[in-house]
Amino acid sequence: MTPFIRVQMQRIDVSAELARLTAGQTGVGGIGSFIGFVRDDPACPLQSLSLEHYPGMTEAAMTQIATEAAGRWPLLGCTLIHRVGRLVPGDDIVLVLAASPHRQAALDATGFLIDWLKTRAPFWKQERFVDGTERWVEARLADDEAASRW
């Protein structure tokens, strides 16, 4: 299995990625997927979210995460795409796809991939609010705990 890894500025075309993942395969029984979005909080309206990454290391870390998943579940393919740059509420940020002969493996691998991606790939988010203030998002303990379950 060769994972498909990409860091990109543009929106994620889920149908195109599904087609890429399943091209030429008939052994796939299920694809699990997670799509992350920029969420707006009415209590503190977000104007935009800027995503920064560490070129080179990011792709290497994403490949390593996918390789780890392939060692744990019988994957026929997986896709990790993460956006960088300036995003607005409602925009997609991240796509994880995991294809397997078996439904449970596809779903478990999907959860694993997004948990590890959140805690082990070098991306940083800065929020800009409607009132003009900015702040760097802090890492959440809950994310580390979710990732350490695996």
Q: Which residues bind other proteins (CB under 8 A)?
A: 36, 51-54, 56-57, 60, 82, 93-94, 103, 114, 117-126, 136-139, 143
**Residue from 20, 103, 120, 135 binding a copy of itself (CB under 8 A):** 103
Q: How far is the CB of 94 from other proteins (least distance, A)?
A: 5
CB under 5 to 8 A by kind: which of other proteins, a copy of itself, none does 129 bind?
A: none
String of contacts with a copy of itself for each residue 44-83, x by CB under 8 A? ----------------------------------------
Q: Which of 130, 126, 124 is nearest to 46 (CA)?
A: 130
CB under 5 to 8 A by kind: which of a copy of itself, other proteins, none does 87 bind?
A: none
Q: How far is the CB of 100 from other proteins (least distance, A)?
A: 15
Q: Cα Rg for the chain, rounded, in angstroms?
A: 16
Q: How far is the CB of 123 from other proteins (least distance, A)?
A: 3
